[in-house]
Amino acid sequence: RKNGLQVAIDGPASAGKSTVAKLVAKQFNYVYCDTGAMYRAITLKALQAGVSLDNVDEISKIVKSSKITFAPSNDGQRVFIDGDEITQEIRQEDVTNSVSAVAAIADVRKELSDQQKQIALNGGIVMDGRDIGSTVLPDAEVKIFLVASVEERAQRRYKENIQKGINTPLDELQLEIEARDYKDSHRKISPLTKAKDAIEIDTTSLSIEEVVSEIAKVVKNKLN
Ligand code: CDP
Ligand code: CDP
């Protein structure tokens, strides 16, 4: 591909996908694309419009009429919908707890995965999500599936929250993560799953640097 490889990174919530994907992209001078942010953007817009999450027709209209764009920033990427910045808003708890329902809607998946294919067309990209290696970029040269124990993932989210001044109890976070993983793994269309040719990395007891260097090794191998 013109700009380099396609690197797909999938896995359950808080496995470290976006953290390591950003660092891998930086190392190879590739573009980073957070596909979860796109599902979150549509969810935020639906919530703000007061649309009920089971109103499939209305949410389908929203996804077809909205323009999601990204701009690079120091710590990853800024996210916009119809020109308005929503980088912070899409991380709100109400969005997190509603996004899996929106992401299960056929029109939403079709529209967003078409956009993702387009973004990745020329390669030189690290894309993270749930179905990138399995569905969005089935021919990606590098496919990584990141996992970690649910206890460790809840801990990670807990620490992240504390830094933001949010103090949700650990057991509540663990239940939230389990519920979201369940919904993401059991939906009909392109559920969270490890692609047959993906390399699985268990990050439970690995540092961010260790995960990045393992992925970088795979990328370098493919480049040679
Ligand atoms: O919170 P976390 O960073 O783990 O999640 P995210 O990557 O921001 O994704 C939020 C939600 O979007 C997921 O729980 C899925 O429901 C959905 N999603 C998806 O269905 N397919 C993708 N490729 C990416 C995200
Ligand atoms: O994108 P995803 O939901 O998979 O995870 P994330 O948003 O990157 O969050 C993972 C959190 O765990 C971040 O706070 C990281 O600093 C931390 N972490 C990690 O990503 N990887 C490790 N090996 C250890 C910790």
Among 66, 135, 152, smallest CA distance to 58 is for 66
ipTM of predicted complex = 0.97
Q: Annotation-wise, does 11 bind a ligand?
A: yes
For the chain, helix (H) and strand (E) counts, in that order, are 8, 8
Domain boundaries, the chain: 6-218
Instruction: Identify the helix (H) or strand (E) that includes residue 83.
Output: none
Mapping DSSP to helix (H, G, I), strand (E, B) and coil, where does residue 4 land? coil
User: If pLDDT is split at 50, 70 and 90, which confidence band does 44 have?
Assistant: very high
Question: What is the model's pLDDT at position 171?
Answer: 96
Cβ(68)–Cβ(41) under 8 Å?
A: yes
Q: Is the pLDDT of residue 76 over 90?
A: no
Question: What is the model's pLDDT at position 48?
Answer: 97
Cβ(203)–Cβ(21) under 8 Å?
A: no
The topology (CATH level 3) of 6-218 is Rossmann fold (3.40.50)
Question: What is the model's pLDDT at position 121?
Answer: 98
What global pTM score does this model have? 0.97
Distance 191 CA to ligand 2 centre (A): 21
Q: Annotation-wise, does 17 bind a ligand?
A: yes
pLDDT tens for each residue of 99-145: 999 999 999 999 999 999 999 999 999 999 999 999 999 999 999 99
Mapping DSSP to helix (H, G, I), strand (E, B) and coil, where does residue 19 land? helix
Question: What is the model's pLDDT at position 73?
Answer: 86
User: If pLDDT is split at 50, 70 and 90, which confidence band does 148 have?
Assistant: very high
> Which atom of ligand 1 approaches the CA of 14 most closely?
4
Ligand 2 pocket (Cβ < 6 Å) reads 11, 13-19, 156, 160, 203, 206-208, 211
Q: Give the tokens for residue 170.
A: 């650990």
Q: Give the tokens for residue 195.
A: 């692609």
Residues 43/80/31/205 CA torsion (nearest 10 deg): -50
